[in-house]
Structure 1
Amino acid sequence: MDQQTASAFAERWIALWNSRDLEGVLELFADDAVFSSPTAARLGHGAGGVVRGKEALRAYWSDALSHNPELHFDLLGVYVGTTALVINFRRQTGVRANEVLVFDGPLIVEGHATHVTT
């Protein structure tokens, strides 16, 4: 993935979350994707915050969105690897976070949410 493609993807990812388009976000993921998140762990989704499969992701993110009606992300940076992309962003609370996304072709097969925890 080149920088231009990565930046366009990140802008789309941010726009989908900011519009609370859960189905649009899920379209970016493979059916058997694996995702880890401290928030998933806190909300009791997945084993230790590791969520497996699109249906489990739908349940987790639906729950997370219901707890966060003011959700808004501002894109800060996009970093490209060979099969991975890191999206650096700021949440509406001011907390900076990263989403580490691993691709197989056009779909995300693995993701990791990272952020400052208090």
Structure 2
Amino acid sequence: MDLAFAQKFAVEWQDAWNSHDLDRILAHYHEDVTFSSPMIERFNGDPSGTVHGKAALRDYWSTGLTRIPDLRFEVMDVRAGVDSLVIDYRNQIGGRVYEVLTFRGDLIIAGFGAYGAVLAH
């Protein structure tokens, strides 16, 4: 993956999240995606902090968008790896978050969010 792709993707990712259009957000994810975040336990009560499959990811993010109606992301920086990228962003309450996304072809097959001191509302 090259940096130009990662930067373009990060802009699309930010715009999709800020639109709150769940289908637009999920369009970049593989049906067999695995995603981990400390917010999964908070929103869905799953202590593993991981969801498996696009349907489970939809459920998790649907809950998040409902519970945080003012959700907004601002990409601060992006890094490219071999088959992955890292998005450094600021959320609606000023918290810095890193999202690490691994691709299979042009779709995300795995990802995780890493949070600092400020998680969310």
Q: Tell me the TM-score normalized by structure 2.
A: 0.93
Structure 2 equivalent of residue 76 of structure 1: 76
Distance in 2, matches of 1:90 and 1:4, equals: 21
Structure 2 equivalent of residue 3 of structure 1: 3
Query: How far did 1:16 drift?
Result: 0.2
3-state secondary structure, aligned to 2:69: coil
RMSD of aligned Cα (Å): 1.2
Amino acid at match of 1:32: D
Matches within 5 A, 1:1-118: 1-44=1-44, 46=46, 48-117=48-117
Identity within the alignment, %: 42
Q: Is the 8 A contact 1:35 1:51 kept in 2?
A: yes
Query: How far did 1:83 drift?
Result: 0.8
After the TM superposition, which parts of structure 1 deviate over 4 Å for at least 4 consecutive aligned residues?
none
Amino acid at match of 1:72: R
Distance in 1, matches of 2:9 and 2:45, equals: 26
Amino acid at match of 2:48: G
Structure 2's unaligned 5+ residue stretches are none
Q: Tell me the TM-score normalized by structure 1.
A: 0.95
Give the number of aligned pairs.
118
